[in-house]
């Protein structure tokens, strides 16, 4: 049976990145796209609990054996809906992206691209997120096509360990320096707000910000790789327990 | 100088849980509440990038030395806005909740309560999320008041390790069996959609679901603690790297 590949993103079904990704994935199997109807940048693992979600087939976007659906929910909603309401069987692979903007370091926590990947992983599907460090809506994705396919093929063939998914980030370059397996670098966003002009005199602000790399010299981080022209492959796990500090919290245990 | 405590949640500024929490925290320091203007359940670490965020003081909700603000954004937006636009200095503690509904096991990934805690942690503030396993909007929080204060005092006094925060969950009981330090249990949500009646004949669905505990017999998990009448204190870390699988990905490295 042909491999079944589920594709989603957080930039919306019309974004260039997801359309490039879908075209690449048709080389590896049967492809179903279920993506948000418009941009959901920064949606993280958000789910929609306060309204009903609509699902609509986009026959106008389909070709070969590609099926395309758009959904009014978040990237995680897209994955949940795809698995229960669209896919004829459990997908062999979930890929999310290609995001316009990197999701390295702490940005993974905010990322809708990676939210969908974490959801796929939670459901037992080998899952990969692809992101490109760019500010553009139209990009040249050709420098990354071979690596995208190579990583997806590797995962289709060998699978991933239980509860582990991949976060793959590319720098915007004409030719990659190579690919590195990395860890999440430490960092945070700073100077995050600018005042919004507002005719009613309310306090209003736009979210913006500057990324502060807290370990710019550590070569094993995803951020270092991107800064130096490499693609970064970072394995991410669902279990966020800080095992190493459990003992220090024992004074808080009690029995009635 | 009095300790400064920042409070937020994902159920909105009017929820009972955050008002109980604010009242408790006034025993430990000066309190500033910056919370969403309405419910943001399931907001995870989502940020708002497509519209300006409004911030409004709620003098009607203030008493003693408590300050209250409501914000049109997500729980993470609330924390970001509080730190740059509201707080006179870096808070000594961030507490989020008390959430109406537990955030144990995989639910942490979807939780706006914990999204705010992760954001506080990222900004270097000792941060704690409190959640109650309940389906009610009006609850009796008295069985948990002493533990909430004890944990907050412990963290105010000793701090938390860098990049580690706490996820505290309580079961709905008249008297806690005690408190346990636990890890995130493995689990996932299943049977997540029901069809929505829709007058226009569109495909529409409501998110619902049933939690599937994948390790119901493991006594060290947060879920086991809740199922057996205990409160669960789970240390959570920002770094999601799956270090243990890095070596298995080395075949994917390359140099041009």
pLDDT tens for B124-179 read: 999 999 999 998 899 999 999 999 999 999 999 999 999 999 999 999 999 999 99
The span from the CA of B116 to the CA of B91, in Å, is: 14
Q: Are strands B4-8 and B30-36 parallel, antiparallel or unpaired?
A: parallel
Find all residues with CB under 8 Å of B155, minimum gap 6, and list them: B93, B126, B128, B166
Cβ neighbours of B213 in A, within 8 Å: none
Q: What is residue B227's predicted lDDT score, i.e. its pLDDT?
A: 98
Q: Global pTM?
A: 0.97
Q: Where is B120: in which H helix or E strand?
A: helix B112-122
Look up residue B183 and give its DSSP letter: B
Q: What is residue A65's predicted lDDT score, i.e. its pLDDT?
A: 83
- CATH code of the domain made up of B4-184+218-252: 3.40.1210.10
> CB count, 10 Å around CB of B100?
24
Q: Where is A19: in which H helix or E strand?
A: helix A16-25
Residue B106 near chain A (CB below 8 Å): yes
Alpha carbon distances (Å) from B20 to A110, B99, B127, B130, B142: 29, 11, 18, 11, 9
Alpha carbon distances (Å) from B6 to A81, A242, B2, B97: 36, 23, 13, 11
A49 vs B207: CB contact, 8 Å cut-off? Answer: yes
Residue B41 near chain A (CB below 8 Å): yes
Cβ neighbours of B181 in A, within 8 Å: 246, 249-250, 252-253
Mean model confidence pLDDT for chain B:
96
Residue B237 near chain A (CB below 8 Å): yes
Q: What is residue A196's predicted lDDT score, i.e. its pLDDT?
A: 86
Find all residues with CB under 8 Å of A51, minimum gap 6, and list them: none
Residue B113 structure tokens: 């309560």
The span from the CA of B115 to the CA of B100, in Å, is: 15
Residue B44 near chain A (CB below 8 Å): yes
The span from the CA of A224 to the CA of A216, in Å, is: 6
The span from the CA of A117 to the CA of A111, in Å, is: 10
> Chunked in runs of 10, what are the mean pLDDT values of chain A (256 residues)?
96 97 97 97 95 94 92 98 97 98 98 98 98 94 98 98 98 98 98 84 90 98 98 98 97 91
Give the pLDDT confidence of B58-100 residue by residue, as tens digits.
999 999 889 999 999 999 999 999 999 999 999 999 999 999 9
Alpha carbon distances (Å) from B114 to A120, B44, B117, B123: 20, 7, 5, 14
Q: Would you state the torsion angle of the CA atoms of residues B12, B16, B19, B23, taken in this order, to the nearest 10 degrees? A: -160
Do B80 and B119 contact (CB within 8 A), yes or no? yes
Give the pLDDT confidence of B4-31 residue by residue, as tens digits.
999 999 999 999 999 999 999 999 999 9
A164 vs B242: CB contact, 8 Å cut-off? Answer: yes
Residue A84 near chain B (CB below 8 Å): yes
The span from the CA of B124 to the CA of B163, in Å, is: 7
Find all residues with CB under 8 Å of A197, minimum gap 6, and list them: none
Query: In the structure, what pLDDT confidence band is assigned to residue B193 with cuts at 50, 70 and 90?
Result: very high
Q: Which residues of A123-133 are buried (b: 16+ CB within 10 A; e: fewer)?
A: bebbbbbbbbb
Residue B194 near chain A (CB below 8 Å): no
Angle between helices B145-158 and B16-25 (to 10 degrees): 50
The span from the CA of A207 to the CA of B83, in Å, is: 13
Look up residue A241 and give its DSSP letter: B
How many contacts, defined by CB atoms under 8 Å, are there between A and B? 242
Alpha carbon distances (Å) from A14 to A9, A68, B24: 10, 11, 48
Query: In the structure, what pLDDT confidence band is assigned to residue B198 with cuts at 50, 70 and 90?
Result: confident
Give the pLDDT confidence of B207-249 residue by residue, as tens digits.
999 999 999 999 999 999 999 999 999 999 999 999 999 999 9
The span from the CA of B191 to the CA of B188, in Å, is: 10
The span from the CA of B8 to the CA of B84, in Å, is: 15
Length of chain A: 256
């Amino acid at each position: 049976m042909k491999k079944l590949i589920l594709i989603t993103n957080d930039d919306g079904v019309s974004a260039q990145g997801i359309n490039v990704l879908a075209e690449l994935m048709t080389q590896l199997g049967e492809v179903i796209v279920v993506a948000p109807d418009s941009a959901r940048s920064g949606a993280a693992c958000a789910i929609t609990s306060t309204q009903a979600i609509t699902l609509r087939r986009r026959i106008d976007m389909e070709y070969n054996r590609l099926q395309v659906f758009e959904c009014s929910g978040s990237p995680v909603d897209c994955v949940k809906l795809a698995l229960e309401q669209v896919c004829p069987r459990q997908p062999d692979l979930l890929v999310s992206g290609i995001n316009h903007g990197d999701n390295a370091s702490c940005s993974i926590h905010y990322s809708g691209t990676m939210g969908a990947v974490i959801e796929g992983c939670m459901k037992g599907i080998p899952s990969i997120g692809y992101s490109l460090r760019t500010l553009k809506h139209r990009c040249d994705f050709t420098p990354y096509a071979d690596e995208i396919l190579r990583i997806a093929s590797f995962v289709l063939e060998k699978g991933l360990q239980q509860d582990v998914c991949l976060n793959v980030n590319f720098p915007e370059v004409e030719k990659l320096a190579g690919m590195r397996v990395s860890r999440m670098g430490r960092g945070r966003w700073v100077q995050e707000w600018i005042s919004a002009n507002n005719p009613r005199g309310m306090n209003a602000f736009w979210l913006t910000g500057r990324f502060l790399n807290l370990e710019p010299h550590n070569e094993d981080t995803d951020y270092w790789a991107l800064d130096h022209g490499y693609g970064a492959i970072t394995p991410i796990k669902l279990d966020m327990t800080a095992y190493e500090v459990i003992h220090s919290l024992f004074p808080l245990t009690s029995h009635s």
